[in-house]
């Protein structure tokens, strides 16, 4: 009996939808391999046609014409399907049933990472969905920014916490080239900074240099801008000190920020920045005073009377005559804080002894023992009688306030 012709079918995977979709197969082209049997493939080969016909299975019962029936591929030996009867693609069935989170983005963010773009659009729901479905939280944009830094600028502590929980690097700088902690401290984003510190960020992280112009422009205060340009090694606590941000400063101090760190060029401490701006309350906090309490002790120096008064809880407990700065070296009126105390001190300007020296606002003036005439006589400091200077020195502490009135 002659050998049957070999029937070969080529199949091609049907690509449907996205990587989340399924796929299908359809019969592309049946081919009769006539060379192995010696039988011609055209209709003139009657012998082969007879043999194939005699061995063909009985015809299947007719079915109602449907798109699926027309697209069904017959087994080997059945006639070639008619042109145009190919199977329709199966409907897209992603493995993730709910695809509403993959919403289109505005045109201006189409070139950005989807998670980053969602944060820029303040679409918290979409951003969280991208994170849940595996978005790379540390992906850097073409402009060098990160999703975490974008969330910090938005002031969203919820997104910041979510990004940190998903493994975002709290050390990775943003487009300004600065660490996330610095961004939060500069913008007074206390809840965001709380999230960063809770995740392990270092409260003493140094500001990177050189400072990007965008960061300088956001500084606002002239002293801070000058420090960005002419100094280096600023810390978040210094940023808060120069801006008078008490809440953020307290947060940093409770997280372990050091008041003993200074800038690397001009050697300025956080207290120096606060003193330059005259932030009395913040100075007290930086000197270790409880931010929730008021000072019990206070000194009032009356320049017109040339007299000093020590008050406790608002009541005068001691007083004495003083000698303030003479003409040309006038003692400036204002609110001060005792920032340093030295039992023995020698002036670095005039090279004279100034026992029981209590420095005011990190400046060159202070209270100290000296010759008192009852009239202006000093180079700017407030002289106290030696016996009273010692008593005042024992009663007063660093962080106590001094008010000098005209």
As given in the structure block, the two tokens for residue 265 are: 């060029």
Which runs of E-coded beta strand occur in 269-306? 297-302
Beta pairing class for 357-360 and 366-369: antiparallel
Lowest mean pLDDT: which of 61-65, 293-297, 383-387? 61-65
Task: Report the pLDDT value the prediction gives residue 108, as an integer from 0 to 100.
Answer: 52
As given in the structure block, the two tokens for residue 373 are: 């005439």
What's the gap between Cα 397 and its chain centre? 38
Whether the pLDDT of residue 245 is over 50: the answer is: yes
Residues 217-223 have a mean pLDDT of 84
CB 302 within 8 A of CB 311: no
Give residue 48's pLDDT band: very low, low, confident or very high (50, 70, 90).
very low
Lowest mean pLDDT: which of 33-37, 255-259, 269-273? 33-37
Please tell me what DSSP assigns to residue 295.
Answer: -
Contacts (Cβ under 8 Å, ≥6 apart) of 315: none
Residues 153-172 have a mean pLDDT of 92
Task: Report the pLDDT value the prediction gives residue 235, as an integer from 0 to 100.
Answer: 96
Give residue 45's pLDDT band: very low, low, confident or very high (50, 70, 90).
very low
As given in the structure block, the two tokens for residue 304 are: 């017109």
- pLDDT of 307-353, one tens digit each? 999 999 999 999 999 999 999 999 999 999 999 999 998 888 878 88
Beta pairing class for 357-360 and 6-15: unpaired
CA-to-CA dists, residue 193 to 20, 46, 136, 169, angstroms: 38, 88, 22, 14
Task: Report the pLDDT value the prediction gives residue 396, as an integer from 0 to 100.
Answer: 95
Beta pairing class for 401-405 and 334-342: antiparallel
Whether the pLDDT of residue 230 is over 70: the answer is: yes
Task: Please tell me the chain's helix, strand, coil percentages from 3-state DSSP, rounded to the nearest 5.
Answer: 30, 15, 50
As given in the structure block, the two tokens for residue 135 are: 């978005």
- Listed by start position, the domains of the chain span 6-71, 107-286, 297-405
Q: What percent of the chain has pLDDT over 90?
A: 56
Q: How many CA atoms lie within 13 A of 142 on its CB side?
A: 6
Q: Superfamily for 297-405?
A: L,D-transpeptidase catalytic domain-like (2.40.440.10)
Give residue 98's pLDDT band: very low, low, confident or very high (50, 70, 90).
very low
Count of beta carbons in the 10 Å neighbourhood of residue 342 = 15
Q: What percent of the chain has pLDDT over 70?
A: 73
Residues 251-275 have a mean pLDDT of 96
pTM of the model: 0.69
Task: Report the pLDDT value the prediction gives residue 122, as an integer from 0 to 100.
Answer: 86
Count of beta carbons in the 10 Å neighbourhood of residue 48 = 20
Give residue 203's pLDDT band: very low, low, confident or very high (50, 70, 90).
very high
Chain-wide mean pLDDT for the chain? 79
Lowest mean pLDDT: which of 40-49, 83-92, 242-251? 40-49
Alpha carbons 370 and 356: distance in angstroms, whole number: 10
Whether the pLDDT of residue 399 is over 50: the answer is: yes
Whether the pLDDT of residue 5 is over 70: the answer is: no
Q: Does domain 107-286 have CATH number 1.25.40.20?
A: yes
Whether the pLDDT of residue 71 is over 50: the answer is: no
Whether the pLDDT of residue 359 is over 90: the answer is: yes
Give residue 149's pLDDT band: very low, low, confident or very high (50, 70, 90).
very high
Residue among 86, 104, 90 at smallest CA distance from 23: 90
Most confident stretch, 4-13, 95-104, 125-134: 125-134
Contacts (Cβ under 8 Å, ≥6 apart) of 394: none
Most confident stretch, 39-43, 71-75, 92-96: 71-75
As given in the structure block, the two tokens for residue 278 are: 């005259």
Give residue 55's pLDDT band: very low, low, confident or very high (50, 70, 90).
very low
CB 197 within 8 A of CB 224: no
Residue among 223, 142, 224 at smallest CA distance from 182: 224
Residues 191-200 have a mean pLDDT of 94
CB 396 within 8 A of CB 289: no
Whether the pLDDT of residue 87 is over 60: the answer is: no
Alpha carbons 89 and 51: distance in angstroms, whole number: 37
Q: Write the DSSP assignment of 153-194 as a string of letters.
A: HHT-HHHHHHHHHTT--TT---TTS--HHHHHHHTT-HHHHH
Task: Report the pLDDT value the prediction gives residue 219, as an integer from 0 to 100.
Answer: 80
Alpha carbons 361 and 395: distance in angstroms, whole number: 19
Whether the pLDDT of residue 43 is over 80: the answer is: no
């Amino acid at each position: 009996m002659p050998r049957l012709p070999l029937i070969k079918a080529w199949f091609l995977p049907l690509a449907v939808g996205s990587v989340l979709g399924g796929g299908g197969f359809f019969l592309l082209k049946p081919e009769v391999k006539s060379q192995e049997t010696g039988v011609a493939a055209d209709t003139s080969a009657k012998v082969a046609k007879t043999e194939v016909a005699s061995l063909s299975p009985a015809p299947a019962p007719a079915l109602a014409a449907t798109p699926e029936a027309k697209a069904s591929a017959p087994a080997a030996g059945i006639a070639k399907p008619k042109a145009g009867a190919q199977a329709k693609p199966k409907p897209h069935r992603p493995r993730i049933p709910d695809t509403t989170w993959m919403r289109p983005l505005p045109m201006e963010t189409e070139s950005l990472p989807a998670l980053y773009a969602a944060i820029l659009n303040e679409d918290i729901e979409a951003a969280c969905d991208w994170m849940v479905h595996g978005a790379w939280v540390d992906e850097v944009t073409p402009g060098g920014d990160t999703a975490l830094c974008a969330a910090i600028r938005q002031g969203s502590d919820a997104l910041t916490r979510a990004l940190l929980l998903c493994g975002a690097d709290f050390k990775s700088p943003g487009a300004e080239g600065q660490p996330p902690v610095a961004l939060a401290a500069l913008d007074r984003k206390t809840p965001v900074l709380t999230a960063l510190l809770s995740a392990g960020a270092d409260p003493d992280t140094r500001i990177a240099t050189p400072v990007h112009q965008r960061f300088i422009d956001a500084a606002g205060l002239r002293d801070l801008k000058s420090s960005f340009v002419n100094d280096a090694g600023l810390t978040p606590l210094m940023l808060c000190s120069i801006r008078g941000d008490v809440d953020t400063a307290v947060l940093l101090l409770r997280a372990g920020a050091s008041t003993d760190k200074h800038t690397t060029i001009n050697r300025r401490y956080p207290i120096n920045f606060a003193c330059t701006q005259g932030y009395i309350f913040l100075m007290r906090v930086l000197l270790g005073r409880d931010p929730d309490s008021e000072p019990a002790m206070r000194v009032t120096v009356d320049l017109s009377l040339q007299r000093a008064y020590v008050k406790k809880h608002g009541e005068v407990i001691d007083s004495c005559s003083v000698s303030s700065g003479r003409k040309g070296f006038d003692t400036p009126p204002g609110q001060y804080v005792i920032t340093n105390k030295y039992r023995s001190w020698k002036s670095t300007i005039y090279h004279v002894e100034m026992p029981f020296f209590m420095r005011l606002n990190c400046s060159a003036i202070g209270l100290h023992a000296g010759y008192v005439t009852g009239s202006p006589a000093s180079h700017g400091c407030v002289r106290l009688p030696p016996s009273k200077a010692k008593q005042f020195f024992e009663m007063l502490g660093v962080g106590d306030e001094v008010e000098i009135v005209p």
